[in-house]
Amino acid sequence: MGGIDPDRCLPADPATRSIARGLLEQSSLRPLVCPHGHVDADVLADDAPFPDATELLVRPDHYVTRMLVSAGVPLEHLLTDDPRSVWATLCEHWDWFRATPTRLWWEHQLSEIFGVDPAPTPDTFDEIGERLVRPEFRPRALYDRFRIEVLATTDGAIDSLDAHARIATDPWPARVIPTFRPDDVVDPDRPEWPAAVERLGELTSCDVGTFGGFLDAVRARRAAFIAAGATATDHGHPTAATLDLDRDECERLYQRLLGDEHDDTDSEQFRAQMLTELAAMSVDDGLVMQLHPGSFRNHHTSTFEQWGRDRGVDIPTPTDYVRGLRPLLERFGMDPRLRLILFTLDESAYARELAPLAGVYPSLMLGPAWWFGDSPDGMHRFRELTTDTAGFRKTVGFVDDTRGFTSIPARHDLARRVDASFLARLVVEGRLGHDEASEVAIELADELPRRAYRLC
């Protein structure tokens, strides 16, 4: 049985690698701080065994399914056929994943978590299956084994937070906290928006028939999330546009949207205005804002209609942060009470827009390389393109952003390897002291996310 290279993703130059290895040894000792991700809280509330390797590793992972679809495999097969046959399909196409981050995450999971050969074969399905029924592979046992210190989930504004409540009242001493992601009530382009707004009103006993009442309802849900441990909000918008309309304009816009006589501009304006409203709320209640803009969601309509969201057909687009964020920043950008963490899928904005913005506005911080950027070379580019202007302290360290619970350690490990490599190069090039690099490696591993997300 093969293993994985202990020096994987460290730099080729021997002197640089040696320094990187030392930095990695130090950062590897730190626990995992996971302030942004998409693990379902029910997994930890129920603590039921994972059903099988396909349900755990293939079907929910759109990095995997999208690559297989691109290779000509029908999505229907992957989502509906027998788990064992889907696993066999994955194995047949394993070569397609060469040099992708998915491959690195899988190798880590297979080798380090399940103790099987890092290259999947049809037999691996059963080898993993044997392990999944054991108590030490149940979600809570893995949570403890992974040394997770805090895990934030992502939850809609009208989610019940029931799973979080169950975990909170349980003697198991983990910190699993929700994140307030109100896209369900903020994005009028979603077909379910009217129903979600109505449900918001019911949940909060607010009159959502007026914009003022709607804002009160949002505030009430934020308070409920804070009571459940939340320290942050998250916002997935098509663009980074913000607006600062006066109250009357807001009310008219909201009424148009409720009344179904609106167009795309109204929807975009509402989302833009809501970002500024949400920033105002953050100034009051202290929740850290996260903005994930720039994904063209559900690019292929018939795939969306048949299989729903998050099937790998979301494609990045150019994003204008400078003009987009300005109305919000004019009001709150220099206010130290606001914290707004920016992400991007448009790498051309790293050096041009994001580092210059975060390098002057005290309210802004930079989230790590996101989604398609979350690869060894992608994370390197993030550091190379932002550090000059924004330094390390305006970044928030790593967030794993994963749906795959067992991929969490692999993702943190990879990020720590990239950061160690980047820092080692700075040391060898005489741009940073070795002792300083050690400090930064540890800051990036857990101090920065803890501080950035107000977790301590």
Answer yes or no: are the C-beta atoms of 55 and 84 closer than 8 Å.
Answer: no
DSSP string, 247-296: HHHHHHHHHHHHTT---HHHHHHHHHHHHHHHHHHHHHH-PBEEEEE-EE
Tokens of 440: 């930064």
Among 1, 98, 135, 259, binds a second copy (CB under 8 A): 98
The residues with which 151 forms a beta bridge, in sequence order, are 34, 176
- How far is it, in rounded angstroms, from Cα 52 to Cα 282? 41
Q: Does 334 bind a second copy (CB under 8 A)?
A: yes
First to last CA, the chain: 42
DSSP string, 398-456: -----S-GGGHHHHHHHHHHHHHHHHHHHHHTTSS-HHHHHHHHHIIIIIHHHHHTT--
The residues in 157-216 that bind a second copy, with binding defined as CB under 8 A, are none
- Count residues binding a second copy (CB under 8 A): 90
Stretch that binds a second copy, among 30-38, 69-77, 165-173, 253-261 (CB under 8 A): 69-77
DSSP string, 268-281: HHHHHHHHHHHHHH
Q: Does 3 bind a second copy (CB under 8 A)?
A: no
Stretch that binds a second copy, among 241-249, 257-265, 284-292, 326-334 (CB under 8 A): 326-334
* CA nearest neighbour of 221 among 155, 279, 166, 275: 155
Residue span 402-431 as binding mask against a second copy, x where in contact by CB under 8 A, dash where not: -----------------------xx-xxxx
- Taking the least distance from each CB to a second copy, the nearer of 91 and 360 is 360
At closest approach, how far in Å is the CB of 389 from a second copy?
Answer: 5
- Taking the least distance from each CB to a second copy, the nearer of 148 and 358 is 358
Tokens of 443: 């800051």
Helices and strands of the chain, counted as H and E runs: 24, 11
The residues in 278-317 that bind a second copy, with binding defined as CB under 8 A, are 296, 299-303, 312-317
Helices in 51-109 by DSSP H: which ranges? 53, 62-70, 75-80, 83-92, 101-108
Q: Does 440 bind a second copy (CB under 8 A)?
A: yes
Q: Does 336 bind a second copy (CB under 8 A)?
A: yes
Q: Does 110 bind a second copy (CB under 8 A)?
A: no
At closest approach, how far in Å is the CB of 415 from a second copy?
Answer: 14
Among 275, 328, 432, 452, binds a second copy (CB under 8 A): 432
- Taking the least distance from each CB to a second copy, the nearer of 159 and 353 is 353
The residues in 351-390 that bind a second copy, with binding defined as CB under 8 A, are 351-353, 355-362, 364, 372-373, 375-378, 384-385, 387-390
- Taking the least distance from each CB to a second copy, the nearer of 225 and 398 is 398
Q: What is the dihedral of CA 277, 278, 282, 287, to 10 degrees?
A: 170
Q: Does 71 bind a second copy (CB under 8 A)?
A: yes
Q: Does 393 bind a second copy (CB under 8 A)?
A: yes
At closest approach, how far in Å is the CB of 385 from a second copy?
Answer: 8
The residues in 16-55 that bind a second copy, with binding defined as CB under 8 A, are 16
